[in-house]
Amino acid sequence: MKIIFVDGYNVINSWPNLKAQKDYSFDGSRQSLIDSLHNYSVYEGCKIIIVFDAHKVNGSIEKKEDINNNISIVFTKDGETADSYIEREVNNIGRRFEVYVVTSDWLEQQTIFQRGAVRMSSIEFYNEVLDTQNRIKRKTLKNTNISNKNNLFDNIDDDVLKKLEAMRRSK
């Protein structure tokens, strides 16, 4: 199974859409990130753990919320950064799973390499998520177009259609 750890605030400050959104709604940008990654995780069939720093929030305790089987959200405890939480969890997981860490923090990237995980910059991940969203849209459009082609009007020629219409009106 593929497990992806995401440094939440690092990503929010890196992705153009979330960076702009956080200026007027920090909670909104967090929720947008969660929604985007939820769709990505379901489509790609991976587990995503989004980690948000709470190291500057006095008295904060670690909170973990499982949204579903594919996505979990963690708020670190007081005094703990997202980086240190991710390092600890990657170390605990070991090399049993395919582990990715999404962050643009250079020091974090080096530490992650040593623990056996693959690092991905926030912008690389942004492009991957956009690519997945586009594949979902194309697949949805394709399925919509296929279902639209099953109309009777699409399968008969104009002469037959005119004759049928004349028969319908003559009654």
Report the number of distinct structural domains present in the chain.
1
Position 110 scores a pLDDT of: 63
Residue pair 18/11 in contact (Cβ under 8 Å)? The answer is yes
Domain limits for position 71: 2-170
Render pLDDT for 126-135 as a digit per residue (tens, 0 to 9).
999 999 999 9
> Cβ(133)–Cβ(36) under 8 Å?
yes
Residue 162: per-residue pLDDT: 84
The ranges of the chain with pLDDT < 70 are: 55-60, 106-111, 113-115, 144-154, 171
Q: What is the pLDDT of residue 58?
A: 63
The pLDDT, as a whole number, for residue 169 is: 84
User: How confident is the model over 100-117, as pLDDT tens digits?
Assistant: 999 877 666 666 766 678
pTM of the model as a whole: 0.77
CA–CA separation, 105 vs 5, rounded Å? 13
DSSP output for 141-164: HHHHHHHHTTSHHHHS-HHHHHHH
pLDDT value for 109: 60
What was the pLDDT predicted at 161?
81
Q: Beta-carbon neighbour count of residue 22 at 10 Å?
A: 19
Q: Which residues pair with 51 in a beta bridge?
A: 7, 74
DSSP state of 70: S
pLDDT value at residue 36? 92
pLDDT of residue 33: 93
Residue 10, domain CATH? 3.40.50
pLDDT at 5: 94
